[in-house]
Amino acid sequence: MSTSVAPSRGPLYKEGVREKLVERIDLAAGTRRGERDTVVDEAPLTITARGREVAVVMRTPGEDLELVRGLLHAEAGEALAGRALVQVASDRVDVDAEPGELPARSFMATAACGVCGRVAIAALEARATTVTSDLVVDAAVLAAVPDGLRAGQTQFAATGGLHGAGLFDRAGRRLAVREDVGRHNAVDKLIGAALAEGRLPLTDHVVAVSGRLGYELAEKVVLAGAPIVVAVSAPSRLAIDVAERFGVTVCGFVRGTRMNVYSHGWRVRGPKPET
């Protein structure tokens, strides 16, 4: 019979969400104040097959057994999806199957969800360095970035079905936009183009994404050396943690004259913080 183990809960923890201190900037009102904000949680779930690690899923904690069963059904069929699942820890689910029974290529790629099957987030420490750029950008410039990104999304304008990623200079000028049905692919295309043009590391640039900012996108920004990332939607808790650790400023919910700054707010020049 399947069992589940509830994760430990700290004072600011609720399954699936976390609280973070953010800076809310409103250019129209000329205000900048610190407030608690709820952000979606993102954490790795290790999938094992009779004790042996086979994949890592980046997910919002909760309904882990359902998540794994759904992945198995999509990638391996109904028979394997019907096997017993046990949540042996808050971040680990074991499948009653031999590792060889799981489809090696398709399941690993899908389950990794942009992390390419890596079994430990700590691997980023071995591959990335802190972004040491001294770039500081006006809040008004960052507030205009999403409109600049949208203006460059010609395929989205025609189809309404693509994610976008853009590269901007410190003055907010759009340098490049790439689109793809996968948000990870859009960022990969953008960074690949920048690499081909000799722009890496992106120490004097702003990267923009058309949707939410998850761990895998934050990781790509760090590896490219970009000091500021602008997201139209929300960042996840783990993306914020990665940005804090590696010196990247995350601006989320950048819409109109408002934005939330989740990490390294010193890079955003704007209204003085309220006391």
Q: Residue 266 in contact with residue 135, Cβ under 8 Å? A: no
The reply to whether 251 belongs to the active site is no
CA distance 254 to 147: 10
Choose the catalytic residue: 5, 81, 108, 113. 113
CA atoms in the 13 A half-sphere facing the CB of 152: 24
* Long-range CB contacts for residues 85-88, cutoff 8 Å, separation at least 24: 85/2, 86/2, 86/3, 87/2, 87/3, 87/4, 87/5, 88/5, 88/48
DSSP 97: S
d(CA 250, CA 266): 11
d(CA 121, CA 219): 10
Give the length of the chain.
Answer: 275
130 is written with which tokens?
Answer: 């802190």
Give the list of residues 6+ apart from residue 61 with CB closer than 8 angstroms, or none.
7, 15, 16, 41, 43, 45, 90, 91
Catalytic residue numbers read 113
